[in-house]
Chains A and B, each alone.
Chain A
Amino acid sequence: MKRIGIDVGGTNTDAVLVEENGVVASVKTPTTRDVIGGVREALRLLVERLGGNAGAVGAVMIGTTHFTNAVVQRRDLAQVAAIRIALPSGRSLPPFVDWPPELKELVAGRIYMVRGGHEYDGRPLDVFDVSAVTAAAREIRDTDIRTVAVTAAFSPLVSDCEAQAAEILRTEIPGVHVTLSHDLGRIGLLERENAALLNAALIPLADNTTRAFSDAVEGSGIEAPLFLTQNDGTVMRADRARAYPVYSFSSGPTNSMRGAAFLSELDDAMVVDVGGTTTDIGHLKAGFPREANRTVEVGGVRTLFRMPDLLSLGLGGGSLVDESRRMIGPRSVGHELETKATVFGGSGLTVSDLAVAAGLVSMGDSSRVEHVDPVTLSWFVERSRAMIEEGVDRMKATGDPLPLLAVGGGAFLVPDQLPGISEVIHVKHAPVANAVGAAIAQVSGEVDQVFSGISRAEALAEAEALARSRAVEGGADLETITAVEIEDLPLAYLPGEARRVRVRVVGDALAL
């Protein structure tokens, strides 16, 4: 199946056409402010490259940082109403409690806390106060607010209260959009609620953006379903992305790692992506980056998203080197390397300059760095090597030797031999690894739940079955689904051998 992957980056929008055996064509065009213009142009260039006809394309996958940027830059966000169903618990820590004040100001419309929710073992926490939800819905109806986030205690285990609240809201408020926290995830009420609130705030933007993406694909003459990539390296159908924009947060690094894996035909490997300002290091297992097992802040808001576990070092091709203090980075000339680096006639001493002087790479005018002190050079080579070596060792989640994939513009910094690494591979097409990662993305299903009173094997089986059905709902082809992550953690102070089980499965996107 032919697939088109598009990566909307901060600087460039890349598009690739990928087949089973590799990249057929790739193009690059500047990202436009409205995002859509760049996507349209990239598709036009790609079709042109293919001789005016892309042929039968199975799917178009777009990866974008548009929604993350909206949160970080505090723009295009809607006012939302928060309904939390957890009283009598949580009264002292209402919704938006730990948000940056200016973001709360922008997003917090109405806040309601009502009785209800559940316990960890499925018993009701309190009788659900349905009339309070109805009253809240009628109040919201009289405002301009049209997106609501609903969060109930232990809803990842029992979602009844949230579902019932959604029904009431939809009945009372015509045209309302409701985000339910259990659709976004995990145990951890504040973090899950934060995700639901951010999601609700992004709904109008997501609606416009996904619609415009669909129009752009249609306008290019390609007939294929549209998917958006998520932060865990999988995709969701555009209609689902419209309802869950937060799932596309930070999908870039994941796409880049997965793209590298595909291009190298390796599933288990370390990936080192040396960019202009940072080096991102991750561990690919079964073709996916390991997930971070901790809270992640987005625009200053604490959430629990499925983010790749990446180590970001302040070491890039543009990092500035302080000779006297023997320090590399974290300051960088960034994308201005080609004007500010010494080899390009600038006055800054960058990592690239020293790499040229040390003979690791050739670029610009090497005579401009001939004067560099050999002591500095040997210190630099040793230090950058040590940084990468330690980072790789830190992120490597197994003692066995693994291959390492070097990608990014500064990949020349990666030494040919590293301890615990069987082989260092410099990946072809590395500049478009991001778009390739988008093109090959699959559909996932995830479960993170507490099981008690059943055996470990039963709990794992039940979780996997549930994850599979979620993947199918998300557009996966049942035949191709496999489990990529099964993890369980026994829980202290809970009766009945309680354990928290996390299972993630993936399958190929079902074409039309």
Chain B
Amino acid sequence: MLHYLGYRYRRVMTDSHSKLRPISGEELEPLATGAWVLGAGGGGDPYHAFLNMRRLYQEGTVVSLMQPEALADDALVAVVSSMGAPLVGEERLTDPEIAALAVQQMETHLGRSFDAVMSVEIGGANSFQPLMVAAVMGLPVLDADTMGRAYPEAQHSSFAIGDLQPYPLTLADVRENAVVVSKVASWKWMERISRKVCTEVGSLAATCKAPRTGLEVKEWGVLHTVTQAIELGQAVIDARTSKEDPVGAVVDHAGGQLLFQGKVIDVSRRATEGFLRGTARVTGLEHDRDSELRVDFQNEFTVAWIDDEVAVTVPDLICVLDTTTGEAIGTEALRYGQRVSVVALPAPEVQRTPKGLEHVGPRAFGYSFDFHPLFI
């Protein structure tokens, strides 16, 4: 009784079967681990979404992963996310049916069916959102997202960088209230209006962002990130099991750089304009003795300095990992005394272009300096 046998193949399959493969139950935990690393300090804990998927798999559901190359140019792709405050999610537990409701509302609004579903961000809890939708609706999950990491807002997506149309958007809450934002003036207006609606329904909602064609996804999507997250998570888990260095596994696997190793000596936080902002200071140990790293965050880590020199900036990913376990540490959980390894991973290409940097470079986050390229 495998649900994936019921997929709508109409416009989807243009290639061999290898472009569509089942995601196995054993890949769920690596996905959660890898997605948490790619969250770059934010994105929320995937625990509840993971529990949902584990239950669905125990009941016999299997979802499939589709390579973007297999998408027909005119295929229709749903771009989904859970929006709102992580704290609310701790009480109002995420539910696949509600995740799917937003997508079903979009189908009703468009009068068309989707061919695949993808996440707005692979970093954190949203990595599982398309899997939940896929499980309910029998759609394949597309091996792509729009950030390659986590970012706070919609205008940080690669579709916004591509100036693709930001509307329509559907938003559904747990009471089955559903809202369609049919037209907006810009990506920022979409963020403002949908955020307002989200607050009204208790600061937690499932959304289906502006639908995309296969061509748009292939041109502007950040591709193969689901596979990347699963493999990254698997590398971390394997390193832990074989008592090897899980931080090294992250760096090697993602083509990153180990920036700094030390101990957190100070964390300050404040909430402004809905974001958790702050700074953490890490004093060096071993090779980095006598140095200090400072890292800023706005939900996610944004800029890191070593001894007051800019070392890495958005859009490159700054990941703070527990030195022993390789477990990613969220900006909310950072605290004095933690032994951490600060790692930089390269941002997706689209974010490093001049247009990309307008959206997700340091200036987009309020800094008065330019992107500091660490990876050529």
Chain B neighbourhood of A119, CB < 8 A: 88, 202
A89 B87 Cβ-Cβ under 8 A: no
Q: Does A208 contact B (CB under 8 A)?
A: no
Q: Does A394 contact B (CB under 8 A)?
A: yes
Q: Does B269 contact A (CB under 8 A)?
A: yes
Mark the stretch among A2-10, A141-149, A489-497 that contacts chain B: A489-497
CA distance A123 to B173 in the complex (A): 15
Evaluate whether A93 and B52 lie within 8 angstroms (CB atoms) in the complex, with A394-B337, A500-B87 already known: yes
- Of B85, B91, B96, B263, which one neighbours A189 at CB under 8 angstroms? B91
Would you list which residues of chain B between 44 and 93 have a CB under 8 Å from chain A? 48, 51-52, 55, 84-88, 90-93
CA distance A401 to B333 in the complex (A): 25
CA distance A147 to B139 in the complex (A): 43
B84 A125 Cβ-Cβ under 8 A: no
Q: Does B162 contact A (CB under 8 A)?
A: no
Evaluate whether A294 and B87 lie within 8 angstroms (CB atoms) in the complex, with A93-B51, A126-B175 already known: no
Q: Does A211 contact B (CB under 8 A)?
A: no
A490 B202 Cβ-Cβ under 8 A: no
Interface membership of chain B positions 171-187, coded 1 if the CB is closer than 8 angstroms to chain A and 0 otherwise: 00011100000000000
A490 B93 Cβ-Cβ under 8 A: no
A394 B339 Cβ-Cβ under 8 A: yes
CA distance A291 to B82 in the complex (A): 31
Chain A neighbourhood of B174, CB < 8 A: 88-89, 125
Q: Does A395 contact B (CB under 8 A)?
A: yes
Residue of B nearest to A399 (CB): B265
Q: Does A97 contact B (CB under 8 A)?
A: yes
Evaluate whether A89 and B274 lie within 8 angstroms (CB atoms) in the complex, with A120-B88, A500-B87 already known: no
Q: Does A393 contact B (CB under 8 A)?
A: yes
Q: Does B332 contact A (CB under 8 A)?
A: yes
CA distance A91 to B95 in the complex (A): 7
- Of A89, A494, A498, which one neighbours B95 at CB under 8 angstroms? A89
Residue of B nearest to A186 (CB): B90
A492 B91 Cβ-Cβ under 8 A: no
Q: Does B358 contact A (CB under 8 A)?
A: no
Evaluate whether A495 and B199 lie within 8 angstroms (CB atoms) in the complex, with A89-B92, A92-B93, A393-B263 already known: yes
A492 B95 Cβ-Cβ under 8 A: no
Chain B neighbourhood of A393, CB < 8 A: 263, 337
Q: Does B325 contact A (CB under 8 A)?
A: no
Evaluate whether A494 and B91 lie within 8 angstroms (CB atoms) in the complex, with A88-B175, A92-B55, A92-B96 already known: no
A395 B276 Cβ-Cβ under 8 A: no
Q: Is the interface of A mostly helix, strand, loop or mixed?
A: loop
Q: Does A504 contact B (CB under 8 A)?
A: no
Q: Does B1 contact A (CB under 8 A)?
A: no
Interface membership of chain A positions 173-191, coded 1 if the CB is closer than 8 angstroms to chain B and 0 otherwise: 0000000000000011110
Nearest CB of A to B201, in Å: 9
Chain A neighbourhood of B8, CB < 8 A: none
Q: Does B227 contact A (CB under 8 A)?
A: no
Evaluate whether A489 and B337 lie within 8 angstroms (CB atoms) in the complex, with A88-B174, A494-B87 already known: no
CA distance A187 to B88 in the complex (A): 9
Would you list which residues of chain B between 222 and 269 have a CB under 8 Å from chain A? 263, 265, 269
- Of B52, B263, B274, B335, which one neighbours A493 at CB under 8 angstroms? B274
Evaluate whether A491 and B271 lie within 8 angstroms (CB atoms) in the complex, with A120-B88, A125-B92, A450-B87 already known: yes
Q: Does B97 contact A (CB under 8 A)?
A: yes
Q: Does A397 contact B (CB under 8 A)?
A: yes
Evaluate whether A187 and B97 lie within 8 angstroms (CB atoms) in the complex, with A93-B48, A493-B203 already known: no
Nearest CB of B to A153, in Å: 5
CA distance A89 to B202 in the complex (A): 12
Task: Determine the interface band of chain A, counting residues with CB < 8 A from chain B.
Answer: 35 or more
- Of A123, A491, A495, which one neighbours B276 at CB under 8 angstroms? A491
Residue of A nearest to B198 (CB): A493
Chain A neighbourhood of B92, CB < 8 A: 86, 89-90, 125, 153, 189
Evaluate whether A90 and B93 lie within 8 angstroms (CB atoms) in the complex, with A125-B202, A394-B339, A493-B203 already known: yes
- Of A89, A394, A397, A493, which one neighbours B93 at CB under 8 angstroms? A89
CA distance A494 to B87 in the complex (A): 9
B55 A93 Cβ-Cβ under 8 A: yes
Q: Does B10 contact A (CB under 8 A)?
A: no
B55 A120 Cβ-Cβ under 8 A: no
Q: Does A482 contact B (CB under 8 A)?
A: no
Interface membership of chain A positions 383-407, coded 1 if the CB is closer than 8 angstroms to chain B and 0 otherwise: 0000000000111111100000000
CA distance A284 to B174 in the complex (A): 44
CA distance A425 to B332 in the complex (A): 35
Interface residue tally for chain B (C-beta within 8 Å): 40
Interface membership of chain A positions 76-94, coded 1 if the CB is closer than 8 angstroms to chain B and 0 otherwise: 0000000000101111110
Chain A neighbourhood of B203, CB < 8 A: 120, 493-495
Evaluate whether A493 and B95 lie within 8 angstroms (CB atoms) in the complex, with A88-B175, A120-B202, A396-B337 already known: no
Would you list which residues of chain A between 89 and 128 have a CB under 8 Å from chain B? 89-93, 97-98, 117, 119-121, 123, 125-126
Chain A neighbourhood of B52, CB < 8 A: 92-93
Q: Does B365 contact A (CB under 8 A)?
A: no
Q: Does B270 contact A (CB under 8 A)?
A: yes
Nearest CB of A to B193, in Å: 15
- Of A117, A120, A188, A394, which one neighbours B85 at CB under 8 angstroms? A120
Q: Does B9 contact A (CB under 8 A)?
A: no
Evaluate whether A397 and B276 lie within 8 angstroms (CB atoms) in the complex, with A92-B96, A125-B92 already known: no
A86 B91 Cβ-Cβ under 8 A: yes
Chain A neighbourhood of B299, CB < 8 A: 492
- Of A97, A120, A394, A490, which one neighbours B91 at CB under 8 angstroms? A120
Q: Does A227 contact B (CB under 8 A)?
A: no
- Of B88, B93, B175, B274, which one neighbours A190 at CB under 8 angstroms? B93
CA distance A27 to B175 in the complex (A): 61
CA distance A497 to B271 in the complex (A): 7
Q: Which among A86, A188, A493, A494 has the greatest number of chain B C-beta atoms within 10 A?
A: A493
Would you list which residues of chain A between 449 and 491 have a CB under 8 Å from chain B? 450, 489-491
Residue of B nearest to A84 (CB): B93
Residue of A nearest to B195 (CB): A493
CA distance A67 to B93 in the complex (A): 29
CA distance A86 to B337 in the complex (A): 38
Evaluate whether A492 and B271 lie within 8 angstroms (CB atoms) in the complex, with A125-B202, A187-B90, A394-B263 already known: yes
CA distance A492 to B203 in the complex (A): 10
Chain B neighbourhood of A398, CB < 8 A: 336
A490 B271 Cβ-Cβ under 8 A: yes
List chain B positions with a Cβ less than 8 A from chain A. Answer: 48, 51-52, 55, 84-88, 90-97, 174-176, 195, 199, 202-203, 263, 265, 269-271, 274-276, 299, 332-333, 335-339
> Considering the complex of A and B, which 5 residue pairs feature the smallest CB-CB distances, nearest first?
A490-B271, A492-B276, A493-B85, A89-B92, A90-B93
Since A92-B96, A125-B92, A491-B85 are in contact, a sample of 19 more A-B pairs with Cβ atoms closer than 8 Å, ordered by chain A residue number, is A88-B174, A92-B95, A93-B51, A93-B55, A97-B51, A98-B51, A117-B91, A125-B174, A126-B175, A153-B92, A187-B87, A397-B337, A398-B336, A490-B269, A490-B270, A492-B85, A495-B199, A495-B203, A495-B274
**Sampled A-B contacts (29; CB under 8 Å):** A86-B92, A89-B174, A91-B95, A91-B97, A93-B95, A119-B88, A120-B85, A123-B202, A153-B92, A187-B90, A189-B90, A189-B91, A189-B92, A393-B337, A394-B337, A394-B338, A395-B337, A396-B337, A397-B336, A489-B269, A490-B271, A490-B276, A491-B276, A492-B85, A492-B86, A493-B274, A494-B87, A494-B199, A500-B87
